[in-house]
């Protein structure tokens, strides 16, 4: 794809009275709040979240007058903008306030300091500009724009911002439980996801530019393996060291792949792309996606870009417990394998699969944490159609494709009150920028991209809420 991201933007002249300079300044100030949330809450500086909440309240007076601002859980935020038509199910626009820390030792690698919120070279710089205070504040900008111009909401809108998406997901769950207790069911949820325009080459459509609308997310598991030993001198390794047993167990699991399947979300992707696919064998196979689902899945499994979409992945990530001395056998050792569970697998059957793969009875297996894959959102109803229509208006040369995220978001926490949880950010970025900036160094968003995302959200709210 030779086009730059801004080349895909349309209707940038819409909403000419949008306070572009103010919107950029407000996001910049939000980036300066160091809202890093740790799994161990004793390490979290919640005064930074308090500063962010004060910034929200001061910056969006029409939202604060028209709506109800609540802090739930620890520091999750729910803003209710009541609609006049109680027969319409509400919709929920969500994102998260927390960001990941900067990797120690890389601070000097940033062009501008990570929490400076610098506005320079056509970008807003800093941790959270892509993941994902841009969406928190973009949602607020869109709602404030409409309310400040006297527009009234027919459909209730919830603006929901978790405080620990990067760690425990308890903030989003607190909001979801709060709404469930009130008997609320939602028409749709819009969360982060996608956010890139990229070539369709991996799908056999090299002449196409695509963006994902993620309907589901894979499950997540950290599988801990432990081997116990008294250690000793390395000249007497009878029966193998604890490291030997641990390494063999890791290899056993890695060499026992999980089933390969084309799930409903990916079937939708190939059905949507079928008219544009020119490369074989996918051109022939996608003439009947459902009949050829196994063959398409097998093709995807051999593709570095597509294999995470069709199977549970296995990634050994941690090993610890060995001695620093080369002639000392280790005592107790642990390793962690990170697994991302495909649709069709569960926490229980993945554990059974791994136990069966490990032939060594001395190896202990347990989950540090684990959750099943999410449900798959509907794409045949009002929510999907309305969101995609707004996206298409502002990115008309892009084909929006139902898909799935191989990572994790807060959206799955809302499945108990919504059957259309969509992960599709309107803030578009170059794929290379996303790869290097999200959780990395020099995270930044193009000013034009931030403003374009706000326009999409204003348009979506006009069609869904007014």
Helices 133-148 & 46-59 angle (0-180, nearest 10): 20
Query: Of 349, 371, 393, which residue is a domain's last?
Result: 371
| The pLDDT of residue 450 is above 90 | yes
Query: How many of the other CB atoms lie within 10 Å of CB of 407?
Result: 15
Asked if residue 457 and residue 383 are part of one domain, the reply reads yes
Flag whether 296 is in a domain.
no
What integer pLDDT is reported at residue 1 of this predicted model? 52
Q: Where does 82-156 show beta strands of DSSP type E?
A: 91-96, 119-120, 123-125
The SS3 call for residue 62 is helix
pLDDT higher at 239 or 354: 354
* Token duo for residue 347: 């926490």
Tell me which long-range contacts 135-138 makes (C-beta under 8 A, separation of at least 24): 135/95, 135/192, 135/425, 135/427, 135/453, 136/30, 136/95, 136/96, 136/97, 136/161, 137/23, 137/26, 137/27, 137/30, 138/426, 138/427, 138/450, 138/453, 138/454, 138/457
| The pLDDT of residue 65 is above 90 | yes
Domain, as residue range, for 28 = 5-199+375-464
Query: Of 336, 356, 371, which residue is a domain's last?
Result: 371
Q: Which letter does DSSP use for residue 450 in this model?
A: H
> Cα angle at 306 between 305 and 308, to 5 degrees?
100
Query: How many of the other CB atoms lie within 10 Å of CB of 392?
Result: 16
Asked if residue 363 and residue 449 are part of one domain, the reply reads no
Asked if residue 158 and residue 22 are part of one domain, the reply reads yes
| The pLDDT of residue 217 is above 60 | yes
Asked if residue 415 and residue 452 are part of one domain, the reply reads yes
* Token duo for residue 441: 């160094």
| The pLDDT of residue 26 is above 60 | yes
The SS3 call for residue 350 is helix
Flag whether 227 is in a domain.
yes
Asked if residue 255 and residue 322 are part of one domain, the reply reads yes
Distance CA 163, CA 98 (A): 5
Flag whether 365 is in a domain.
yes
Query: Of 342, 371, 400, which residue is a domain's last?
Result: 371
What integer pLDDT is reported at residue 11 of this predicted model? 98
Question: Do the beta carbons of residue 353 and residue 252 sit within 8 Å?
Answer: no
Flag whether 292 is in a domain.
no
Per-position DSSP letters for 423-448, written without gaps between them: EEEEEEE-HHHHHHHTTTSS-EEEHH
What integer pLDDT is reported at residue 338 of this predicted model? 97
Average pLDDT over residues 104-120: 97
**Domain CATH number, residue 337:** 3.30.70.360
Flag whether 290 is in a domain.
no
**Domain CATH number, residue 388:** 3.40.630.10
Query: Where does the pLDDT of residue 39 fall: very low under 50, low under 70, confident under 90, or very high at 90 and above?
Result: confident
Query: How many of the other CB atoms lie within 10 Å of CB of 249?
Result: 24
Asked if residue 385 and residue 353 are part of one domain, the reply reads no
The SS3 call for residue 36 is strand
Flag whether 191 is in a domain.
yes
List of residues 6+ apart from 332 with CB closer than 8 A: 226, 227, 228, 229, 242, 321
Asked if residue 180 and residue 137 are part of one domain, the reply reads yes
| The pLDDT of residue 218 is above 80 | yes
Q: Which of 50-54, 197-201, 235-239, 451-455 shows the lowest mean pLDDT across its residues?
A: 235-239
Flag whether 214 is in a domain.
no
Of residues 238, 218, 228, 96, the one with CA closest to residue 162: 96
Flag whether 275 is in a domain.
no
Average pLDDT over residues 81-100: 98
How many domains, in total, are found in the chain?
2
**What percent of the chain shows pLDDT beyond 70?**
100
| The pLDDT of residue 293 is above 60 | yes
**What percent of the chain shows pLDDT beyond 90?**
95
Asked if residue 81 and residue 100 are part of one domain, the reply reads yes
Asked if residue 436 and residue 318 are part of one domain, the reply reads no
Asked if residue 158 and residue 239 are part of one domain, the reply reads no
What integer pLDDT is reported at residue 311 of this predicted model? 98
Asked if residue 144 and residue 11 are part of one domain, the reply reads yes
| The pLDDT of residue 2 is above 80 | no
229-262 pLDDT, tens digit per residue, is: 999 999 999 889 999 999 999 999 999 999 999 9
Asked if residue 382 and residue 325 are part of one domain, the reply reads no
């Amino acid at each position: 794809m030779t086009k730059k991201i801004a080349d895909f933007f349309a209707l940038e002249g819409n909403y000419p009275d949008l306070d572009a300079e103010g919107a950029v300044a407000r996001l910049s100030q939000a980036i300066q709040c160091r809202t890093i949330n740790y799994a161990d809450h004793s390490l979290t500086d919640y005064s930074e979240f308090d500063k962010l909440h004060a910034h929200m309240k001061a910056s969006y007076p029409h939202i604060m007058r028209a709506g109800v601002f609540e802090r739930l859980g620890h520091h999750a935020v729910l803003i209710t903008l009541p609609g006049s038509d109680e027969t319409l199910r509400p919709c929920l626009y969500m994102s998260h306030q927390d960001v990941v820390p900067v990797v120690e030792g890389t601070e000097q690698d940033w062009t501008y300091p990570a929490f400076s919120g610098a506005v320079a070279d056509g970008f807003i710089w800093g941790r959270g500009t892509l993941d994902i205070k841009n969406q928190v504040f973009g949602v607020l900008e869109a709602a404030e724009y409409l309310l400040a111009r006297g527009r009234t909401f027919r459909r209730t809108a919830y603006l929901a911002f978790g405080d620990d998406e990067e760690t425990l997901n308890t903030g989003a769950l607190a909001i979801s439980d709060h709404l469930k207790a009130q008997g609320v069911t939602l028409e749709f949820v819009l969360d982060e996801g996608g956010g890139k325009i990229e070539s369709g080459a991996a799908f056999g459509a090299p002449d196409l530019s695509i963006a994902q609308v993620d309907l589901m997310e894979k499950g997540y598991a950290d599988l801990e393996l432990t081997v116990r030993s008294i250690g000793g001198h390395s000249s007497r390794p009878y029966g193998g060291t604890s490291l030997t047993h641990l390494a063999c167990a890791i290899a056993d699991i890695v060499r026992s792949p999980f089933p390969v399947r084309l799930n409903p979300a990916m079937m939708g992707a190939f059905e949507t792309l079928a008219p544009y696919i020119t490369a074989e064998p996918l051109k022939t196979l996608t003439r009947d996606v459902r009949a050829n689902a196994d063959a398409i899945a097998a093709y995807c499994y051999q593709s570095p870009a597509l294999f995470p979409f069709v199977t549970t992945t296995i990634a050994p990530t941690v090993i610890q417990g060995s001695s620093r001395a080369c002639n000392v056998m280790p005592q107790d050792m642990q390793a962690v394998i990170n697994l991302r569970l495909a649709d069709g697998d569960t926490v229980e059957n993945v554990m059974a699969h791994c136990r069966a793969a490990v032939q060594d009875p001395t190896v202990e297996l347990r989950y540090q944490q684990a959750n099943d894959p999410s449900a798959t959102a509907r794409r045949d109803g009002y929510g999907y159609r309305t969101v995609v229509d707004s996206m298409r208006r502002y990115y008309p040369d892009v084909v929006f494709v139902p898909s799935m995220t191989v990572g994790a978001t807060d959206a799955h926490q809302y499945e108990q009150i919504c059957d259309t949880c969509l992960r599709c950010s309107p803030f578009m970025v170059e794929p290379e920028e996303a790869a290097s900036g999200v959780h990395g160094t020099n995270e930044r968003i193009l000013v034009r991209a931030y403003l374009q995302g706000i326009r999409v959200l204003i348009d979506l709210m006009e069609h869904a809420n007014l």
